Amino acid sequence: MSKQNVNVISNNGENLHPGFSVDCVIIGFHDNILKVLLLKPKYCDEWSLPGGFVDKNEDVDEAAIQVLKGRTGLENIFLKQFHLFGSKKRNNKKLNIKALTFLEEDYDDASFLLQRFLSLGYYALVDFSNTMPQVDYLSEACEWKDVSDLPPMILDHKEMINKAMEVLRSKLNNEPIGYNLLNEKFTIPELQALYETILGKKLDRRNFLRRILSYDILVKLDEKKTGGAHKAPNLYSFDKEKYHRALINGLNSGW
């Protein structure tokens, strides 16, 4: 939350949906590593996902979009609900008290923060190179972290990331993945590396090429990747119309 978003919960949080929030698992791909954008709150030693409250006059998707825009500076990126987190153990009173102590000068009465919150999880896929992570009023750091090597995290936020990755892997069986994670122009080896990273396993090069081309969502460009030591591979881009059609209709086979 930015300080602007924080200030709307003065007056006892009457403008907000009680006990409800959104949290975003923002995933980027860089150097064949899947990374997630995390925050380091000023009031605790653990890390957290970007998130925020939902105003009573605000669409829940709009609340998540504002979180994404504030953290990455990006607009019109892929964003999808994936799970509602509602464990009865989600209320960490010690953590809440620390937050209240830190924020006591900014609220008339923020005691409502002591209650248990249900959180609607979203995952977003972004091109790592286009993002500019932003800290906010409540955080001292906003950084990309390796999904496979996460720091200690608050509440069930590590579980949220694991669940988002589980959903993302399942999507490979019926949806194309890559448009929001790769550069606009990419090579087949780069696309294969992305799939292998998400799946956590190696894929046969020839089988991958045959299957990915069978989806008919790629455009072979009259360009080659430069700067490599070996024979320069061809560059490709996604056919946006066919890609989005595949998102709606699904793919013929999975991985």
- In the prediction, which pLDDT does 239 show? 94
- Among 143, 171, 199, residue at a domain's last position: 171
> Do the beta carbons of residue 158 and residue 48 sit within 8 Å?
no
In a domain, 178, yes or no: no
Q: What is the CATH number of the domain that holds 139?
A: 3.90.79.10
Which residues constitute the domain of residue 240?
188-249
Q: What is the CATH number of the domain that holds 202?
A: 1.10.10.10
Residues 159 and 206 in one domain: no
Domain count, the chain: 2
In a domain, 254, yes or no: no
- In the prediction, which pLDDT does 109 show? 58
- In the prediction, which pLDDT does 218 show? 95
State how far the Cα of 97 lies from the Cα of 89, in Å rounded to an integer: 16
- In the prediction, which pLDDT does 77 show? 78
Q: 76's torsion region: left (phi>0), alpha (psi -120 to 50) or beta?
A: left
Residues 9 and 135 in one domain: yes
In a domain, 180, yes or no: no
- In the prediction, which pLDDT does 72 show? 80
- In the prediction, which pLDDT does 64 show? 92
Residues 86 and 20 in one domain: yes
- In the prediction, which pLDDT does 134 show? 85
**Does residue 221 sit in helix, strand or coil?**
strand
In a domain, 163, yes or no: yes
- In the prediction, which pLDDT does 119 show? 94
Residues 32 and 114 in one domain: yes
Residues 9 and 116 in one domain: yes
Q: How confident is the prediction along the chain (255 residues), in pLDDT tens digits per residue?
A: 334 343 333 445 678 888 899 999 999 998 888 999 999 988 888 999 999 888 888 899 999 998 888 888 777 778 899 999 998 877 666 666 566 565 555 555 566 677 778 999 999 998 887 788 888 777 899 999 999 999 999 989 999 999 999 999 988 877 888 888 998 999 999 999 999 999 989 999 999 999 999 889 999 999 988 765 567 889 999 998 998 888 888 776 666
